[in-house]
Structure 1
Amino acid sequence: MTDDEAASQAVYGVVFGPLKPALREHAYPVTKEELIEQYGGFELEHADGTDRLEEVLRRADVASFREPRQVRDAILGVVGVDGAGNLIDPDENDVGIETDDWSSLSP
């Protein structure tokens, strides 16, 4: 992945990489366990390093998701915050939540 591609997949300091299109293409609704089974090995990069999706979702308080945005929000709730608990502000390379397309690609 090039730097430009990585930046295009970043949301508030979290780089989703190939996980974003995979989540958008997945059929919803889906449980946390189903996502862990299928995508648990995907890595997310963030300010504190990297985490596998499985580790992140296990720490999330959500059991099921109706759309990709809910998965994104759960991930950001776990790793998209700084040490003080504040949502990380996007820098000039990040894509803001409102302008970033996290809609489902599957019918």
Structure 2
Amino acid sequence: MSDDETTSEAVYGVRFGPLKPALREHVYPVTKEELIEQYGGFELEHAGGTDRLEEVLRRTEVATFREPRQVRDVILAAVGVDGTGNSVDPETVGRETGDWSRRAP
């Protein structure tokens, strides 16, 4: 599957768009502030509307991220809704099958 195809997929009802490949290509570890500085203007679409990444990350207490999956999981937990408007169960976050692994340099 190409990056163009993966960016249109929703994860628990959240569309990451071009942010997904950007996060996968980023060098980790990275701080929340570094992500906000570089990607804060990216928009995330979800059942509750649209949020900028900066707004979502500011609602979290995680200071440093070790890998893209961790960023994804924190975003999903902070947005807190799936595609039907239901709350996301924190126990199931991260179990979807999309590829969120880091890309080889």
Q: TM class by shorter-chain length? A: 0.7 to 0.9
Q: Write the distance in 2 (CA, Å) between the matches of 1:7 and 1:97.
A: 18
Structure 1 gaps, min length 5? 89-95
Structure 2 gaps, min length 5? none
| Percent identity over paired residues | 77
Displacement of 1:97 after TM fit? 3.9
For 1:13-24, list aligned pairs within 5 A. Answer: 13-24=13-24
CA contact 2:7–2:18 (8 Å) conserved in 1: no
**Counterpart amino acid of residue 20 in structure 1:** K
Q: Write the distance in 1 (CA, Å) between the matches of 2:25 and 2:95.
A: 18
> Match for residue 60 of structure 2?
60
Evaluate the alpha carbon distance shift between residue 85 and residue 13 of structure 1 in structure 2; reply closer, same or farther with a 3 A threshold: closer
Q: Write the distance in 1 (CA, Å) between the matches of 2:6 and 2:24.
A: 17
Displacement of 1:80 after TM fit? 3.4
Q: CA RMSD in A?
A: 2.4
Provide Cα deviations, 1:48-81, integer angstroms capped at 9, x if missing partner: 1000000000001211100000000000011132
SS of 2:71's partner is helix
**Counterpart amino acid of residue 98 in structure 2:** D
> Match for residue 97 of structure 2?
99
> Match for residue 12 of structure 2?
12
Evaluate the alpha carbon distance shift between residue 7 and residue 97 of structure 1 in structure 2; reply closer, same or farther with a 3 A threshold: farther
Larger relative contact order, structure 1 or 2 (CA cutoff 8 Å, min sep 6) = 1
Aligned residues: 96
Evaluate the alpha carbon distance shift between residue 49 and residue 6 of structure 1 in structure 2; reply closer, same or farther with a 3 A threshold: farther
Large movers: runs of 4+ above 2 Å: 4-9
TM-score (structure 1 length as normaliser): 0.79
